[in-house]
Structures are given as C-alpha cells and as structure tokens.
Amino acid sequence: MNHSIKLSIITPSFNSASTIRDTLLSISYQDYPNIEHIIIDGHSTDDTLKIISEFPHVSRMISGRDEGIYHAMNKGLGLASGDVIGILNSDDLYTSKSVISEVVKVFEDDSIDGCYADLQYVSPSLNKVNRTWKSGSFSPRSFYWGWMPPHPTVFLRKRVYDRVGNFNLALKSAADYEFLLRVFVKNNFKFQYIPKTLVKMRTGGISNASLKNRFRANREDRLAWELNGLKPYFFTLYLKPFRKIFQFLIK
C-alpha cells in the first residue's frame, strides 16, 4: 500500500471524558501510519483533556470556547493538512484497526473524490447494536428519495473542501445535511461506497432528541435545499426520517 497519502481525522470534543478514550483508542490502533489526528475541544471542564494527553498519536489539540460542533469542525478543517479528511466525533469509534487502510486504498485511484460506508448505532456501553445504517450505492438522484450517507463514514479529499467550503454555521442540526447536499448533489464529484460497517456511533443526536427537534430539523433540511438552489420532491423530506425505520430491522 502507498503510505504517501496523508489522512487527517478531526475530532470535536466537549466534556467527553466518558467516551473519548474509545475514540482515541480506535484511532491509535489503526494499522495505517500516515494519520494526522486533530482534536478541537470546546474548553472541557471534566477529564477530557487529561485523557487526550495520554495518547501520543494526537497530532494537534486546541481547547477553547466555540459556537458548537460545526464551528469546531470548521476549526479543524482550517488546520488539516492531509490529502484526505475524515471526521470522527468524540463518542464514535472505528470498528477495526484496518478502517483507515481500507479508506486509503480507495483513494489510491486519484479520480475518486470521496467515499462512504455503513454505520452502527450502539448502546452507550457499546455491547448492543440498536440499528444499522446500510448506505448502499449512490446515484445523483439518491438524495431526492430521502437518502444520505452517515457523515462519520464520509471521507473526502481536501480538494473537495477547497472547492465547496466548510459547514454553514447558520444551520444547527442540519449543517451536515446541507454540506452533504453541496458535495453529493450540487457538484459532480466521484464517490465510492465501501459496503461494510466502519464506524460505531453511540445512540443520541440533537435532531432526534424530541418531536419538537425533529420538526425543527425538517425545517432546516428544507432550508438546506434552498441554500443550494435545489428543489426536492414534495415527499423527499418526509422520506428522510422514514428511511430510519428500516435501520432497526438490520442487525
């Protein structure tokens, strides 16, 4: 394998002492050597920073107040120097030591701009799979049918960020959705699907925390299309949450 491809991983964190060790371990165990791990901490007041200091593989860590997770991601993107960039949150983890090697193998084809894979939602203790997000193959019309890839499994070349920009901080719960629309729908990039589970994510998330938040997320999803000058089908934004039902049927 060509180890000349540098891969940056950005991890936003805030008071993540109960989970970030698993995240850090999953990156430190990777069998691919050319990894830049950047942690953007939101001025944690628990033991998060102490735990991070125990992992010498971390390339850079900055801690200070920010405007939320997407602002932290943007900070990380400004520091990343890798050819390929991925984002792994502080309560997520990679499923095996070969995840990054498998990702880098995809990018040995210079025509590939990005890749994505499958994801499992797991219990806080990591011992129970609650649902499985099988992404499936992508076509330019997939988003119109409520599809999107799980963001923690998405890896993009730096040239993609250079072209489309970073996360839109005017959005709260749908900033990742708007960014993925920009990348997958509005621009003509080339993607490859890795048909296996690369990331485990602990259950939760602001857009699904309550019915009120789900309505707010739906409004932001609609705005995400408008910001990109795109028009969804009348049923697109209703299919998006509906598709999650099938994730509970796959273990």
| pLDDT, greater one: 209 or 203 | 203
Helix (H) or strand (E) holding 238: helix 236-242
- Given this model, what pLDDT does residue 120 score? 96
Look at the chain and report how many structural domains it folds into: 1
Q: In terms of DSSP H, where are the helices of 118-191?
A: 158-164, 175-181
- Tell me what the mean pLDDT of segment 220-231 comes to: 95
Q: Let me know if residue 236 belongs to a domain.
A: yes
Domain carrying residue 100: 7-249
The per-residue pLDDT for range 159-194, each reduced to its tens digit, is 999 999 999 999 988 999 999 999 999 999 999 999
Res. 212 pLDDT band, cuts 50 70 90: low
pLDDT tens-place string over residues 48-107 = 999 999 999 999 999 999 999 999 999 999 999 999 999 999 999 999 999 999 999 999
pLDDT digits (tens, 9 = 90+) for 119-154: 999 999 999 999 999 999 999 899 999 999 999 999
In a domain, 2, yes or no: no
* Gap between the Cα atoms of 55 and 21, Å rounded: 9
Q: Is residue 134 part of a domain?
A: yes
pLDDT at res. 250: 65
Determine the pLDDT at residue 210.
45
List alpha helices for 29-96, DSSP H: 48-52, 69-79
Which pLDDT band holds residue 243 (cuts at 50, 70, 90)?
Answer: confident
Residue 211 has pLDDT above 50, yes or no: no
Instruction: Flag whether 1 is in a domain.
Output: no
For 133, the token pair is 């997000």
163: domain CATH number?
3.90.550.10
Cα–Cα nearest to 27, from 60, 57, 66: 57
pTM here is 0.93
**Residue 186 lies inside a defined structural domain of this protein:** yes
pLDDT value at 208 more than 90: no
